[in-house]
Copies of this chain bind each other. A is one copy, B any other.
Amino acid sequence: MSRISFLGIGLMGAPMVARLLDAGFSLTLWNRTRSKAEPFAGRARIADSPAAAVAEAQVVITMLENGAVVDQVLHHSGALAQLQPGALVIDMSSIEPGMARRHGARVEEAGGVYLDAPVSGGTRGAQAGTLSIMAGGEEADFERATALFQALGKATHIGPVGSGQLAKLANQAIVGITIGAVSEALLLAARGGARPDRVRQALLGGFAGSKILEQHGERMLQRDFQPGAPSRIQLKDLRMILDEARAEGLSLPLSQRVFEQYRALLASGHGEVDHSGLLLELERLNGVRLDGELP
């Protein structure tokens, strides 16, 4: 079986590495802070540099913070110059679609092939191997990654390079706006005298039913805003969505509106609450609380 180098052993990377090892893949790991890779020392090689990791692999996976870090680790470090002919580079980080296309072009220049394959499902999905993987690139390259993706979750081939990132942006737009919709619906019903927990329950089986109503709705009712996915990340994603829309000449009224709401949420100091905490901004705007307590 071909050797995989995995670059970026963070909150998402670590459980993904664990699943790949459990599935029997041979891994070389690299992380800027080497100590985060050490727990795997008995089961995987640990490389001293991105270039050393890239040099010995037929498949290179990156799971990094943003597009600039991917650029730094793969390109500016000189790692791509070490790429084996025909090696497959899979960037599973969430970055701008345009940047993914530039990375793809660089990998091709270096003699490799490239997939962008961001994920949704969070750390829980990474641990359980139930990530939703959205992949952009050539069909043949996608098929080459099948066994590997199967160890991590469910993969869908969305289109050419950049399409995985576009699907991730679509995901984040729907998630952010639906959180806003659930906030407004529950607050409206509660202020009118209905029990918001019963509203959630009644709506779950109908057309208003969604994962967000189920999980984030419950967090709103419990006022449990431990992340999950912090609001500052949701804001960053919405900014990427609006940047991409602008680049395509598109106006997206609801994405724009919910972006402004998350910006206001952060401005009032709530960057670290879960993204379901958008309710707090709606409560602040209206001077009332969902649970009827004084604000």
Contacts and interface: CB of A to CB of B under 8 A. Distances in A.
A132 B205 contact: yes
B210 A158 contact: no
Interface in A249-283: 249-255, 257-258, 260-261, 282
A184 B132 contact: no
Nearest to A255: B184
Nearest to A177: B181
Interface SS of chain A: helix, strand, loop or mixed? helix
A195 B286 contact: no
Interface residues of A, number: 74
Interface in A157-199: 157-160, 162-163, 166-167, 169-175, 177-178, 180-182, 184-189, 191-195, 198-199
A123 interface: no
A16 B90 CA distance: 54
A202 interface: yes
B213 A174 contact: yes
B254 A195 contact: no
A33 to B, nearest CB: 29
Contacts of A136: 194
Interface stretch (A6-14, A39-47, A240-248): A240-248
Contacts of A282: 252
A212 interface: yes
A120 interface: yes
A208 B205 CA distance: 16
A253 B256 CA distance: 11
9 contacts: A159-B193, A160-B193, A170-B186, A170-B188, A172-B208, A174-B185, A177-B180, A191-B250, A208-B212
Given A163-B195, A192-B163, A198-B159, A250 B208 contact: no
A192 B97 contact: yes
Contacts of A244: 188, 192
Contacts of A173: 181, 184-185, 188
A202 B134 contact: yes
A154 interface: yes
A211 B211 contact: no
Given A157-B198, A178-B178, A208 B163 contact: no
